[in-house]
Amino acid sequence: MTNDNIMLAESRQGEVMEVVDQKPTKKAFYIESYGCQMNFSDSEIVASILNEVGFGATNNIEAADLILINTCSIREKAEDTVRKRLRYFDQFKSRRPGSLVGVLGCMAERLKDKLLEQEKLVDIVVGPDAYRDLPKLIESAEDGDKGINVFLSREETYADISPLRLDSNGVTAFISIMRGCDNMCSFCVVPFTRGRERSRNAFTIVAEAADLYSKGYREVTLLGQNVDSYKWKNPESEEIINFAEILRMVAEVNPDLRIRFSTSHPKDITDEVLETMAAYDNICKYIHLPVQSGNSRVLKLMNRTYDRNWYKNRVKAIYRIIPDCAISSDMIAGFCTETEEEHQDTLSMMEFAQYSMSYMFYYSERPGTLAHKKYKDDVPLEVKKRRLQEIIQLQNKISLRHNEKDIGKTFKVLIEGTSKKSDADFKGRNSQNKMIIFPKLSGLQPSDYVEVKVNRATSATLIGEIV
């Protein structure tokens, strides 16, 4: 993983994307999304809701009647970035009278009072379960009142809303299959900002996948804070559909539709899921399996509900059932009371699991979490940064070795578009989620599958040619 990728992992830059096939509109909205894939998926739901009431997307902030930022609270750095953007947005309001600024997502509930009353940076604050209320909140803000709804629902899944795809590549798309999280990891704010787990109607998931395929999309990523705990009860048959079953149902939409998913929790990923992955060629052979720490005592403090040996056994099961699977991870350096020996356990776990890539952070205390209430954040910042650098350096070495093993191999690659570095090259990923760059050939276009032989490798990318 390159240093650029590390920085991206630490704080995803806001992305602004165009809406396709939108209705004629009178007003324009501009939206930036930060954080996890779920936030980007939620922005597509918001775009659909706004489109229905006469708003269309714009990439030009100067032309926006409504400026929205979909926020992340997972780390302090992410919140600092959002605050800077809000101060930047505030400049445009004075130049465009009547324009509104709104905060969506995970920062909404936690910082609603500060953002609305103390800092006076926003007009609208909307939590992840209240996006249907946006039109009413906009009207309220236009009348001079503050528009706020941060209510967390036990039922809302937005299953009946067809997301307005903001990603214009037309090849890959997200499908949210569940919302919320019940795991209560001690370092994490997600259960407090996104509420309890609830799973979406399985048939609406399959219908959305089929609709995307009919529109030319060739890859979907099933999203959830913990997709493995997906469980939906059919009210007519009383049948329980679990994650392995929904994987199978989506895979059977069409063999040319690739299926990915994120994120898995080590305590919940079952052999049934792994066997389903192995049985279908179009279910990608890639699992994001966050370990967070390689030490059992630290894992217990984190309330991860598994220990070092449990995690290692899950990794062994993955490689046994799906030998060509790639595994990625998340790691936190310098969690409360972590010792040097316990840090070494994380490094040794990385060597054991042979992660293809990882998202790596040093511990950032989040107000309201169990760790904030119970534990002292006692590892000095310079120690956290040094341990993180050791994790990054090791992951770069493992990623390079992992990729070098692919030299000479041929992979089925889905063309996603033109390489960022050269208009003469395509980019696409193989089943193991590795980005491959290769020269364009006439007659090919995004959404086509090609066989690509790997000739070279870096720690982040494979370079090859169509065969």
**pLDDT in single tens digits along all 467 residues of the chain:** 333 333 333 333 455 444 444 444 479 999 999 888 888 899 999 999 999 999 999 988 888 999 999 988 777 777 788 888 988 888 887 788 889 999 998 888 777 777 776 567 889 999 999 999 999 999 999 988 888 898 888 899 999 999 988 866 899 999 999 999 999 999 998 888 888 999 999 999 999 999 999 999 999 999 999 999 999 999 999 999 999 999 999 999 999 999 999 999 999 999 999 999 999 999 999 999 999 999 999 999 999 999 999 999 999 999 999 999 999 999 999 999 999 999 999 999 999 999 999 999 999 998 889 999 999 999 999 999 999 999 999 999 999 999 999 999 999 999 999 999 999 999 999 999 999 999 999 999 999 999 999 999 999 999 999 99
Q: Which residue has the tokens 């090849």?
A: 171
pLDDT reported for residue 15: 52
pLDDT reported for residue 360: 97
CA 327 to each of CA 78, 128, 236, 290, 294: distance values in angstroms, whole numbers, following the listed order = 26, 29, 38, 9, 15
The set of residues, in sequence order, having a beta carbon less than 8 Å from that of 297 and lying 6+ positions away, is 342
Q: How far apart are CA 428 and CA 155, in angstroms?
A: 37
The set of residues, in sequence order, having a beta carbon less than 8 Å from that of 229 and lying 6+ positions away, is 178, 182, 197, 243, 265, 268
Question: Residue 442: in which H helix or E strand, if any?
Answer: none
Q: Taking the model in full, what pTM does it have? A: 0.89
pLDDT reported for residue 145: 87
Q: Give the burial class of 406: count Cβ atoms within 10 A of its Cβ; 0-12 exposed, 13-18 middle, 19 or more buried.
A: buried
Q: Give the burial class of 309: count Cβ atoms within 10 A of its Cβ; 0-12 exposed, 13-18 middle, 19 or more buried.
A: exposed
pLDDT reported for residue 14: 52
Domains of the chain with bracketed CATH: 3-149 (3.40.50.12160), 169-284 (3.30.750.210), 410-466 (2.40.50.140)
* Helix residue ranges, H only, 215-353: 243-251, 271-279, 296-301, 308-321, 340-353
**Amino acid identity, position 407:** I
pLDDT reported for residue 67: 94
φ, ψ for residue 288 (rounded to 5)?
-90, 110
